[in-house]
């Protein structure tokens, strides 16, 4: 299973989701791959936001080595599941799909909700981390069941 987490700049939400899911997958002993990307190219090559790094580190997850990259159409071939953090990310990724099969890989990370971008509000990093962690746990259970 190859999973891609996507947000806008690939420095806040998606690196957290990438790190949390990777940590959960390793704890389960699964041979799955997780990566993350952004729909915008604002931070290509940069490490995650320092607030994201600090929040993840508080929970024992090191996302500091990550370097931001932009989502590219080749990601549709490389990944089985593409999870986006909000409706804008969804629209941006789906617009690059060449067919229904590629569009079907793209899903909202939290189907009934959106993960708020914490970039402009320091107070949001902790709740966003908790929201992402809860959803990663649910997703892992679902994807494991789906792949049995």
Q: Is 4 helix (H, G, I), strand (E, B) or coil?
A: strand
Token pair 């971008």 is found at 117
Residue 51 annotated in active site: no
Annotated catalytic residue within 22, 23, 86, 117: 117
* Distance (Å, whole) CA 98 – CA 101: 8
Q: Is 7 marked active-site? A: yes
Q: Which helix (H) or strand (E) holds 87?
A: helix 87-94
Told to judge if 13 belongs to the known catalytic residues of this protein, a careful annotator would answer: yes
Is 60 within 8 Å of 12 (Cβ atoms)?
no
From 12, 13, 23, 35, active-site residue:
13
Catalytic residue set:
7, 13, 117
């Amino acid at each position: 299973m190859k999973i891609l987490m996507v947000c806008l700049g690939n420095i806040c939400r998606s690196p957290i989701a990438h790190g949390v899911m990777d940590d959960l997958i390793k704890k389960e002993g699964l041979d799955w791959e997780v990566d993350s990307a952004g729909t915008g190219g604002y931070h290509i090559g940069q490490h995650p936001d320092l607030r994201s790094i600090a929040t993840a580190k508080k929970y024992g997850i090191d996302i500091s080595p990550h370097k931001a990259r932009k989502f590219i159409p080749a990601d549709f071939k490389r990944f089985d599941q593409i999870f986006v953090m909000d409706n804008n990310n969804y629209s941006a990724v789906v617009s690059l799909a060449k067919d229904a099969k590629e569009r079907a890989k793209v899903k909202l990370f939290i189907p009934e909700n959106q993960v708020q971008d914490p970039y402009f509000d320091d107070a949001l990093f902790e709740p966003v981390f908790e929201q992402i962690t809860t959803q990663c746990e649910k997703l892992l259970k679902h994807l494991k069941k789906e792949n049995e």
